Each structure stands twice: as structure tokens, then as C-alpha cells.
Amino acid sequence: MLWDLLYRAAYDLALAGCADDDAVRMLFDLGGLDRSGFETARLHYLGHLSDGGGDAEARRATRYLEAALWAGDGGDRWRATAESVDPWDFPRHRFGRGVAAVA
């Protein structure tokens, strides 16, 4: 899955202390033109951070993905592909499981 690759790559770049513009360029090279992969990876980091499991590298990785989304939106970069997914599928599934566990 593309989002998983971007998720791990963003963290690796954060561990290396990569500059934001260099990280965005490398993530673009890896992620291609499909916005959904970037958005899904970002949402996974936000979920991780909201659970209190985030460290400085997770916050930096999130920043890289947000910068890539912003740059891609401004540059009209994105193209839907056959592998595009709804980035909100994961949060909806996660929320639904939590509600079922409470009930």
C-alpha cells in the first residue's frame, strides 16, 4: 500500500533530520501523483499522535506529509489513480470499532 510506504519513509526521513523541502521532494519521488496516499499516511500519524504515542520524529514526519500535501495542492500535482483510496476509511473504521467496544 502506498500510504504505508509513505508513512514509514516520512518517519525514516524524520529520524535522519532531513530538511523539510528535501523530505517533501523525496516523498514526492516515492509517492507519485496520488494525493490519497499522502493524506492517509498523515491521518495515521494524527491518530498515533492523538493516542499520546507520538514522539518528536512522529511530529516531524506529520509535518513533512502536511508540507507535501500543501505543495501538491498549490502546484496542481495530484492525479487520481486506480489505487486511490478514501483517506477517511481508516478513521471511520477505527471510530466504529471503538463505539462497538463501548456498547
The pLDDT averaged over each successive group of 10 residues in the chain (103 residues) is: 91 96 96 90 89 87 96 85 60 53 46
End-to-end CA distance of the chain: 32
pLDDT of residue 78: 84
Domain that holds residue 49: 2-102
- Three cell numbers, residue 23: 523530505
How many structural domains is the chain composed of?
A: 1
3 contacts 40 by C-beta, under 8 angstroms: yes
State whether the Cα torsion 45-47-53-59 is positive or negative.
Answer: positive
Q: How far apart are CA 66 and CA 100, in angstroms?
A: 31
pLDDT of residue 89: 64
Question: How far is CA 44 from each of CA 10, 23, 54, 77, rounded to the nearest angstrom?
Answer: 12, 18, 11, 22
- Which residues, 6 or more positions from 57, have their beta carbon under 8 angstroms from its beta carbon? 11, 14, 15
pLDDT of residue 103: 44
pLDDT of residue 95: 52
Q: How far apart are CA 68 and CA 55, in angstroms?
A: 20
